[in-house]
Structure 1
Amino acid sequence: MENEIINIALNNVHQNVPIQLKYKKTGQYGGFLTATKGKEELWFYVMQKGEVRKYVVEELEDIKQPPVGVMLIAERIPANIKAALRKRKTAYIEGNGNIYIENENMFVFVDSNKTLKLNKEKGNRAFTKTGLKVLLHFLIKPELVNQTQREIAEYTGVGLGNIPQVIEGLKETGYLLRLNKKEYAWENRKDLFFRWIEGYQTILKPTLKKRRFQMRKKWQEIALNDGIAAWGGESAADLLTNYLRPEKFILYTNEDQANLIRNYNFQPKKDGDLEVIEMFWNKDLNQRTAPPIIVYADLMMEGGKRNQETAEMIYNEQIQPNL
């Protein structure tokens, strides 16, 4: 699929733009590409991506080695990421032939071609609602994948029959490599993390049970039942970083309404200041807060500059070292 996207992208460029692009697969990043237009020739290291995440912009900056540039080639690049790449004068090509190259001697820019639709893998169980629940635990505890399937099922709280399907899905997408009959090794966990964030936002979180309450006292004064309730969102971010002063509140728990009223003195209210959301992970992963990955996802979904800054702090300090 990797070379297919590159070949399709270069062919589509050649049909519409007077430029010669020659690609060679090498061990350096994703390959090497020369771009010739008239008498000018430029050299690029290639990074190929099936799906493009926000972090790729910074990753490309890190591998620039003048006079050799770096170029992103992908099936599709979101508009905001293309804008960020152009701001940094970082070259890219999309599968549909949209292209951007800019330096002192060459400028090529096409952004009018329709989105290319390639056949995708279908039915990958690693990225279903249940698969995403398992993946969260794998992202937090990478060694979990080498336990027995029964142990994985018990720890993640999903049916045993789902585990081989999730593992097979991770193998199909290249995130898991088999070392021997009993062990796997992870590949590209950083990309898997951002793919999980996207799946959590669009597939899993919308299905979780949600309720609204009004808190009757300051959130810091509420004594949560250890393990079975944990702060998420902005309040959790404040506990993790001491950087964000929360304005919106999320609590993850599976306690029923009667217990929420009795234990925490919450008042059911449709427009209350607290959103209570179903907890779907192993309670052993909780402190006073949900796992940092959940807190990061909450902040990114809520948006806003301060939330995004705090999310980056949590990612850099508590998530990335484990990827």
Structure 2
Amino acid sequence: MMNLETKEQLILAKAIDAFQRTTGLQIHHVWEGGPADALLTIQTPDHPVHFEAEIKGVIDRFKTLTHIRELGTRTKPVLLVAPYITKEIATQCRELDLPFIDEAGNAYIKTPGLFVYVVGQARPERTHEKPEFTALTTGGLKIVFALLNQKTIAPQTYREIATFAKVALGTVGPVLTNLENRGFLTPTDLGPRRILDKKRLEEEWVAHYPIKLRPKLNARRFTAAKEDWYRDVNIEQYDAYWGGEVAAEKLTGYLKPAKITIYARKNLDRLIVENRLRPDVNGDIEILEAFWAVDTELQMNGVVPALLVYADLLATTNPRNIETARLIYDRYLTQA
């Protein structure tokens, strides 16, 4: 029996079955592999190919992929096994030369005598998170963001948490229970609530934000009359904040923004008119709704919280953005 948790066993079994179905290749052996989650052998027409499997239920596009790629010192190549690999993540894996398989049948493997690249397979209808992970719903992600960015909010009442996270009061209880059951919050019988395993909770939030919450923020796109129009703008006077690449430049001084991201709270008319922004579905300026209620403890003047900047950068496939995300994580999130 493999030395894996039940959930990991299920991910691996489904991914192997899907790989065999979409490629016609067989994975003959799976067994406990020391530092690896499992050892896999793919039987090609000419010879067997061996891998050390790393099974991940949640993928952080920066840390997970880079970490796995850096495991190349092992005796066998590392193979990422996940519930689902999107086209964007598949592209990044290929750029990193990181082999992967998933439950949908998507795969990338490049070794002497074997090349497999399958992308675009539909996400499986049943996911491992659907029945239990209420913290990964739209409302749940807002609540987790509140907990991660306002240190004093965790022990507060449900109503206070709902107000800060801008969610319905009835959303709070199930999400906090879910976080407690999964080891992210202290049990209520141990005194005031506090976050546990903050790093892993951040990773989960960053992985799901661009998929489940960001698309609900009513994004609108614009073009400006002047390329560097944003440099002299006091964005806070519009009750708005810089996100993405502009925020990254302000936090690190390292990135020259190619796209402008703004999170705004109220009517946008003044911001649009005074800065001569023109609606343009292909514009490089994106304005989204700010989804938290007030400034957070981890928020710089005029810039969204570092966790959100980090997530915005990782939602792109731009290598320089990914590099800047590392700087932001090291400077602002490891110390938070």
Q: TM-score, normalised by structure 2?
A: 0.69
Per the TM alignment, residue 75 of structure 1 is displaced from its structure 2 partner at its CA by: 3.0
The aligned residue for residue 307 of structure 2 is 293
Separation in 1, partners of 2:287, 2:97: 44
The 3 A distance-change label for structure 1 pair 27 and 227 is: farther
* SS at 2:101 equivalent: strand
Letter in 2 for 1:62: E
Aligned match of 2:4: none
Name 2:3's counterpart in structure 1: none
2:162 to 140, 153, 163: 153
Larger of the two Rg values belongs to structure: 1
Tell me the residue number matched to 1:111. 118
Give the match for residue 197 of structure 2: 186
Aligned counterpart for 1:23 among listed residues 30, 47, 58: 30
- Aligned residue number for residue 11 of structure 2: 5
**Alignment root-mean-square deviation, CA:** 4.4
Residues 49 and 239 from structure 1, CA distance in 2 versus in 1: closer, same or farther, beyond 3 angstroms?
A: same
User: Is it true that 1:54 corresponds to 2:98 in the alignment?
Assistant: no
The 8 Å contact of residues 176 and 185 in structure 1, kept in 2 or not, is answered as yes
Task: Show structure 2 runs of 5+ residues with no match.
Answer: 1-6
Work out the number of aligned pairs and report it: 313
Which residue among 208, 214, 223 is the counterpart of 1:201?
214
Query: 2:243 touches 2:309 (CA, 8 Å); kept in 1?
Result: yes
Indicate whether 1:283 and 2:295 are aligned: yes
Is residue 27–residue 42 contact of structure 2 (8 Å, CA) maintained in 1? Answer: yes
Structure 1 residues 314, 214: CA separation in 2 closer, same or farther (over 3 Å shift)? same
Evaluate the alpha carbon distance shift between residue 265 and residue 297 of structure 1 in structure 2; reply closer, same or farther with a 3 A threshold: same
| Counterpart for residue 252 of structure 2 | 241
How far did residue 219 of structure 1 move? 4.1
Alpha-carbon distance between aligned partners in 2 of 1:12 and 1:224, rounded to the nearest angstrom: 49
Q: C-alpha separation between the residues in 2 aligned to 1:224 and 1:316?
A: 26
**C-alpha displacement of 1:234:** 3.9
Instruction: State the Cα deviation string for residues 151-192 of structure 1 (Å, max 9, x = none).
Output: 4334434343221122244457x4636556245623722233
Change over 3 Å in CA distance of 1:227–1:166 after alignment to 2: farther
Q: Which fold has the larger relative contact order, with Cα–Cα distance below 8 Å and residues 6 or more apart in sequence?
A: 2
Structure 1 vs Structure 2: percent identity of aligned residues? 22
Matched residue type, 1:68: K
CA contact (8 A) 1:21 1:33 kept: no
Segments of 5+ residues of structure 1 without an aligned counterpart are none
Distance in structure 2 (CA, Å) of the matches to 1:110 and 1:214: 40
Equivalent residue of 2:196, what SS?
Answer: strand
| Distance (whole Å) between structure 1 residues aligned to residue 91 and residue 223 of structure 2 | 41
Q: Is the partner of 1:185 in helix, strand or coil?
A: coil
Match of 1:73 in 2: 81
- The Cα shift of 1:7 comes to 1.7
Mean Cα deviation higher: 31-40 or 155-164: 31-40
Contact 2:85 2:106 in 1 (8 A): no
> How many angstroms apart in 2 are the aligned matches of 1:213 and 1:66?
49
For 2:175, the aligned partner's letter is V
- Cα distance in structure 2, aligned partners of 1:14 and 1:300: 31
Residue of structure 2 equivalent to 1:313: 327
Instruction: State the distance in 1 between where 2:261 and 2:102 align.
Output: 39
